[in-house]
């Protein structure tokens, strides 16, 4: 082979790439990590929406329950409604029962289809509501036998019930990273303290005006926040 032919042969030989095979994968790695992070964040937001259920609806449900139940009792106490106190108490009890069962159903339905830790959190939160008011039923029976005065008995029983609801809201807000729910729970605890301080003659007015107002305000805030999040997700 001549020198000219050898040179042509060498020039035609393809050059070996000096780029490390892992360098291309390394360039794509940040993009892959970013995509994975977005998937995790989307899944977390979806789980939170599912676990919290329709929170605005729950708050609205309880706000209406307080207006119906405590409004009936307060109107009876003030002589504005033609009910005897036991009949008014039945109205409150029925309203609370409907609200409690509906809340448990909402949380259990919202946790359906979830798996792992998310399903456990949703299921246990719904169970906590059921157990809390089961205990409340037992305490009500004990207080009913121990306290003779109707309105004092109502003050104690309802204060314990609202204490349980407030603690459950704080627990739910902590579990689902929902500050608004935790703040509402704290508000209900403060309302309970105010009712106890006001005594048997005025505790119904405290529950009716302060408690129901807080729940309805929480419903409005949650509705607006959920709507804003959905609009933001649609724009994205």
**Can you give the C-alpha Rg of the chain in angstroms?**
30
Helices assigned H by DSSP within 53-178: 55-77, 85-111, 116-146, 150-175
Task: Flag whether pLDDT at 26 surpasses 60.
Answer: no
pTM: 0.73
Contacts of 171 (CB under 8 A, 6+ apart): 125, 128, 185
Task: Flag whether pLDDT at 146 surpasses 70.
Answer: yes
Most confident of 85-89, 118-122, 204-208, 220-224: 204-208
Task: Flag whether pLDDT at 47 surpasses 80.
Answer: no
Structural domain span for residue 110: 55-235
Establish if 41 belongs to a structural domain. no
% the chain with pLDDT above 90 = 44
% the chain with pLDDT above 70 = 70
Element holding 149 (H helix, E strand): none
Task: Flag whether pLDDT at 190 surpasses 70.
Answer: yes
Establish if 94 belongs to a structural domain. yes
The pLDDT-based confidence of 7 (bands split at 50, 70, 90) is low
Task: Flag whether pLDDT at 142 surpasses 90.
Answer: yes
Contact 171, 184 (CB under 8 A): no
The predicted-structure confidence for 106-122, as pLDDT tens digits, reads as follows: 766 766 655 666 667 76
Domain count, the chain: 1
Contacts of 103 (CB under 8 A, 6+ apart): 58, 61, 62, 129
Establish if 219 belongs to a structural domain. yes
The 10 Å Cβ neighbour count of residue 1 is 7
Average confidence score pLDDT of the chain: 80
Contacts of 13 (CB under 8 A, 6+ apart): none
**Token couple for 189:** 């605890």
**Token couple for 92:** 């409150």
Establish if 166 belongs to a structural domain. yes
The predicted-structure confidence for 58-105, as pLDDT tens digits, reads as follows: 899 999 999 999 999 999 999 999 999 999 989 998 998 898 888 778
Contact 222, 62 (CB under 8 A): no
Establish if 105 belongs to a structural domain. yes
54 φψ region: left (φ > 0), alpha (ψ -120 to 50), beta (else): beta
Establish if 98 belongs to a structural domain. yes
pLDDT for residue 129: 80
Distance of alpha carbon 132 from alpha carbon 129, whole angstroms: 5
Q: Among positive and negative, which fits the CA dihedral 115, 117, 120, 124?
A: negative
* Lowest-confidence region among 127-131, 161-165, 183-187, 207-211: 127-131
Establish if 34 belongs to a structural domain. no
Task: Flag whether pLDDT at 23 surpasses 80.
Answer: no
Establish if 18 belongs to a structural domain. no
pLDDT for residue 31: 47
Q: Among positive and negative, which fits the CA dihedral 108, 111, 115, 120?
A: negative
């Amino acid at each position: 082979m001549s020198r000219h032919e050898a040179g042509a042969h060498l020039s035609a030989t393809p050059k070996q790439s000096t780029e490390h095979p892992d360098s291309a994968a390394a360039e794509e790695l940040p993009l892959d990590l970013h995509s994975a992070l977005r998937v995790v964040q989307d899944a977390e937001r979806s789980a939170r929406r599912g676990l919290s259920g329709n929170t605005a609806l729950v708050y609205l449900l309880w706000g209406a329950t307080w207006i119906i139940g405590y409004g009936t009792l307060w109107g009876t106490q003030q002589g504005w409604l033609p009910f005897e106190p036991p009949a008014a108490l039945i109205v409150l009890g029925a309203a609370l029962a409907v609200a409690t069962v509906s809340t448990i159903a909402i949380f259990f339905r919202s946790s359906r289809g979830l798996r792992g830790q998310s399903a456990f959190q949703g299921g246990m939160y719904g169970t906590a509501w059921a157990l809390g008011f089961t205990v409340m039923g037992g305490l009500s029976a004990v207080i009913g036998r121990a306290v003779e005065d109707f309105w004092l008995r109502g003050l104690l029983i309802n204060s314990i019930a609202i204490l349980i609801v407030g603690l459950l809201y704080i627990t739910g807000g902590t579990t689902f990273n929902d500050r608004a729910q935790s703040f509402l729970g704290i508000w209900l605890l403060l309302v309970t303290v105010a009712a106890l301080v006001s005594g048997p003659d005025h505790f119904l007015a405290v529950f009716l005006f302060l408690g129901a107002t807080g729940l309805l305000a929480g419903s409005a805030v949650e509705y607006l926040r959920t709507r804003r999040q959905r609009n933001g997700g649609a724009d994205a």
